[in-house]
Amino acid sequence: MSDENEQDDFEGFEDFLSGLQPGRKVTLGGGLRYREGGDARDWSAPGQTKRVPGDWMMQIGVRSDTFAAATSGMVEVSFPQAFGDPPWIMACPVNTLPAFQDVRVLPTIASAAGLEIYWHSSVNLTYIEIAWMAIGPIGTG
């Protein structure tokens, strides 16, 4: 391989690196290519329309809560940056006290700025950690 071809390879990499900024879409091979939903902007709307996403971002986190013994509750999450419109969301429990308890979670969209995660367990818990992920249109904030 000649030095000239090697230089061409790195020019694309420099373009990729220049896009690594918070809130900026960076296209990677194997990234989000399609989505299915009922609204072009509101990614939480159900539907069967196939869409090619425009600028999008992913945010993830883990929310914990300590409380008096309870079998159900709700935790609120404010996204680090608001989305342009409501995102697609998911959540799963990752830790409880007492440990290793089955917990059901139901994440619900509150707005483009946050979500609410409702949880239920068949035993009293005093602590819960819930991991969440949201993918949706980039906000302007």
Q: Which domain holds residue 133?
A: 33-137
Please give the tally of structural domains in the chain: 1
C-beta of residue 106 within 8 angstroms of C-beta of residue 92: no
Decide if 93 is inside a domain: yes
Query: Which residues are within 8 A (CB) of 43 and not within 5 positions of it... i.e. 6 or more apart?
Result: 35, 37, 85, 86, 87, 88, 135, 136, 137
Name which residue leads in pLDDT, 11 or 52.
52
Q: Residue 80 maps to which CATH number?
A: 2.60.40.2080
Decide if 26 is inside a domain: no
Decide if 124 is inside a domain: yes
Decide if 49 is inside a domain: yes
Residue 14 phi/psi, 5-degree rounding, is -65, -40
**pLDDT, position 4:** 53
Decide if 42 is inside a domain: yes
Decide if 5 is inside a domain: no
Residue 9 phi/psi, 5-degree rounding, is -60, -40
**pLDDT, position 18:** 61
Tens-digit pLDDT profile for residues 90-104:
999 999 999 999 999
Decide if 10 is inside a domain: no
Tens-digit pLDDT profile for residues 129-139:
999 999 999 88
Decide if 73 is inside a domain: yes
Tens-digit pLDDT profile for residues 15-41:
655 656 666 655 554 577 788 999 988
- Among 35, 55, 32, 33, which Cα is nearest to 46's? 35
